[in-house]
Amino acid sequence: MCACALLLALAMSADDPIDNPIATFYSGPEGYPAWTDGVRWSRVINMKTYAKGKTEFQKFENARDELREGGGVLYYPAGLYDFTTMPPGRGLMLCHDVVIRGEAPKTRTPAADGALTLGTKFIFPFRVRGGGMVPADWNFIGLQIEKGKTLGNSTDNVGIAWVHLVGAGVFFGPDMEWASSWGTSDSPFTPMIKKAWRIRRPDGTHPFDALIGGKKYLGAGKGRLVFGCIVEDAPPLDDFLDPGYGTEGFSTQAHGARIAVYGSRIFVANNVLPRSRKSFVHLQRTSQGPKPVLYDYGKTCGIDINKELLSGLGPAGASAGYFEEGIVVRDNYVFNHGHTGFNIAGNWVTIRGNNNDRTFLRQGDKTGVRPWVLTLDGFEVAGASSDNRSRAFDLAGRNVWIDSNRFTNTGSKPGKDGEGIACRVETGMPIYSWAITHNVHKRGTGAAGYLGGSNLDCHGLLIAWNETPGWVGLATKKAGRTMTDCAFVANKCLRVSPEKKTPSSGTPTPPKKVSISVHETDAVKVTWTADGPADGFRVERKNGRRQVARDCLPAAAHRRRRG
């Protein structure tokens, strides 16, 4: 037995779990993503008994490095793990094929109801700013680049499961062609960079690297999971830009998310992003002079998959990163005061069973101890035409299924936002084979919003059996927009747009030339040719003796991933 194997054997207990927790939790006939079986769940280091290091952070890095050859699991049994002594300049950075795992809860409580309780808790450092507490700069679970490699080709099969994070989020970012430094990049943000951050060399390990120093998308790796976690008090801090409030000003990141994951074969499921009680009002210079502003723990994006950080890459919609394959985002609870609940792009995407709970974003509401003004970025005061990005689902990509989600209280005042489930013209991408089904929007005190697309081309869109106080369909204000294979069926809504495109009666016929093949070892590709007046197809699979309904797709869809 080699020394490395001996160390691992001594650090492992007979009671440590070695199962695939995703497979255990989603053990019903619907199944789970097959790629998660590729994680080496049976190779475990028990971090409660691991002794190499004086602090929890040192132990984490030492144990992670022992798993570098072959991969495995850093298992944290129930208990409190203190990372407040984490040194500045890096978070808990995972290397390839290494997963953090906490102790699973005793009961199977649905996270989408916001009631998840976990026994494994990590706490991270906060610091005093403006009379309140804000997270430290590098408070996140991130990625470590292997020597001589890049973020895109050395960080596959990573993740975190069953851990309650206090003060930290998750950032598994993209790889790009990088500028030499933040201060010498030609980004629109470059003139705003504070002096201390100008020398940073972007490499993708910091959430803002892609927007300040990313020139061209190169990739992002494959196999990334965030499962069964609580992400509490974790708004990404923006203490590196100065849009006008001065060197002492700060805000939450306008483009940061509490969970941000980029790449293919992504599984983000059964997580809770709860409401914080730490928001506070402080005096700061704004576009209208010194004003009380809110450091708002709830005014950040909840879950971002392959989307927000790619917005600056040339013409909108041009990045290949918007079409990474095999994305599953399901059964998550996200609380928002403002900003977007779910910001997602990909190819063969399932967004199902999520809950975006909100308090309506209204300037001056009693969130702090005194009235406050609403700003876009801590400096620019919002007005009636401002986009505070208070929408539930902002989506892009191809072959997207959005089913059985719920949300409420979208919109802002003052502001012009409030979309429900949207593909917006700003993405630069058409809708191509989407199904929006069985979703419920409760208006509350917010905007009516809409489910569908706004002023863009559409090639296959089914919107059916939803409940919303707003409209559904496709708004086509610009002449020449293409709209094919669209069906808007049995929705409880204000109106359908455009009404003339709703389906007429007809007898559907089965698709022709149906073929099935293996796709990249962990998926099944189904190809067919649509025939006749069908508005969509129901795709099913057999799991053993059971036949399971998987999807209801527009007629334009030509293939569909499994799992």
DSSP secondary structure letters along 82-128: E-TTPPTT--EEEPTTEEEEEPPPSS---GGGT----SEEEE--EEE
Q: Would strands 164-166 and 230-232 be described as parallel, antiparallel, or unpaired?
A: parallel
Chain-centroid distance, C-alpha 46: 29
DSSP state of 209: H
pLDDT score of 552 more than 60: no
pLDDT score of 170 more than 70: yes
Greater confidence (488 vs 483) lies with 488
Greater confidence (102 vs 537) lies with 102
Q: Is residue 425 part of a domain?
A: no
Domain boundary among the residues 349, 367, 394 is at: 394
Q: What mean pLDDT comes out for the span 3-19? A: 64
Q: Is residue 88 part of a domain?
A: yes
Determine contact, residues 38/157, Cβ cutoff 8 Å. Answer: yes
Strand intervals (E) in 254-411: 257-261, 264-269, 272-273, 280-286, 289-295, 301-305, 325-330, 333-336, 342-352, 355-358, 361-362, 393-403, 406-408
pLDDT score of 229 more than 90: yes
Helix axis angle for 56-66 and 3-11, nearest 10°, is 130
Determine contact, residues 429/402, Cβ cutoff 8 Å. Answer: no
3-state secondary structure of 63: helix
Q: How confident is the model at residue 509 (pLDDT cuts 50, 70, 90)?
A: confident
Q: Is residue 185 part of a domain?
A: yes
The per-residue pLDDT for 195 is 95
pLDDT score of 171 more than 70: yes
Q: What mean pLDDT comes out for the span 43-71? A: 97
Q: Is residue 448 part of a domain?
A: no
> Averaging pLDDT over each range in 13-17, 134-138, 213-217, 500-504, which range is the top one?
134-138
Q: What mean pLDDT comes out for the span 168-177? A: 96
The CA angle 457-458-462, to the nearest 5 degrees, is 155
Greater confidence (493 vs 146) lies with 493
Question: pLDDT tens-digit profile of 72-87?
Answer: 999 999 999 999 999 9
Of 342-356, 372-386, 528-542, least confident by mean pLDDT is 528-542
Q: What mean pLDDT comes out for the span 462-477? A: 92
Query: What pTM value is reported for the model?
Result: 0.93
Integer CA distances (angstroms), 472 to 309, 391, 419, in order: 28, 15, 11
Question: pLDDT tens-digit profile of 348-373?
Answer: 999 999 999 999 999 998 766 678 99
How many CB atoms lie under 10 A from the CB of residue 372? 24
The per-residue pLDDT for 562 is 34
Question: pLDDT tens-digit profile of 230-267?
Answer: 999 999 999 999 999 999 999 999 999 999 999 999 99
Question: What tokens does 452 get?
Answer: 């569908």
Greater confidence (64 vs 478) lies with 64
Q: How confident is the model at residue 316 (pLDDT cuts 50, 70, 90)?
A: low
Q: Say whether both 386 and 518 belong to one domain.
A: no
pLDDT score of 546 more than 60: no
The per-residue pLDDT for 101 is 98
Name 54's Cβ contacts closer than 8 Å, sequence gap at least 6: none
How many CB atoms lie under 10 A from the CB of residue 52? 14
Domain boundary among the residues 394, 426, 446 is at: 394
Question: pLDDT tens-digit profile of 297-308?
Answer: 999 999 999 999
Q: What mean pLDDT comes out for the span 526-544? A: 70
Q: Say whether both 384 and 516 belong to one domain.
A: no
Percent of the chain with pLDDT over 70: 88
Question: pLDDT tens-digit profile of 109-119?
Answer: 789 999 999 99
The per-residue pLDDT for 533 is 64
Q: What mean pLDDT comes out for the span 411-419? A: 96
pLDDT score of 545 more than 70: no
pLDDT score of 560 more than 50: no
Side-chain-side CA neighbours of 114 within 13 Å: the count stands at 14
Q: Is residue 293 part of a domain?
A: yes
The per-residue pLDDT for 553 is 54
Greater confidence (129 vs 543) lies with 129
Q: Which residue carries 């747009």 as its tokens?
A: 497
Domain boundary among the residues 394, 423, 454 is at: 394
Q: Is residue 446 part of a domain?
A: no
User: Could you tell me which residues are beta bridge partners of residue 261?
Assistant: 172, 305
Distance CA 348, CA 519 (A): 12
Q: What mean pLDDT comes out for the span 447-459? A: 93
Greater confidence (477 vs 492) lies with 492
Q: Is residue 228 part of a domain?
A: yes
The per-residue pLDDT for 9 is 46
Q: How confident is the model at residue 1 (pLDDT cuts 50, 70, 90)?
A: very low
Q: What mean pLDDT comes out for the span 281-307? A: 96
pLDDT score of 561 more than 60: no
Distance CA 391, CA 487 (A): 24
Q: How many structural domains are present in the chain?
A: 2
Of 419-423, 448-452, 530-534, least confident by mean pLDDT is 530-534
Q: Is residue 473 part of a domain?
A: no
Tell me the pLDDT of the chain averaged across its residues.
Answer: 90
- Residue 32's domain comprises 3-394
The per-residue pLDDT for 149 is 87
pLDDT score of 91 more than 70: yes
Distance CA 131, CA 43 (A): 45
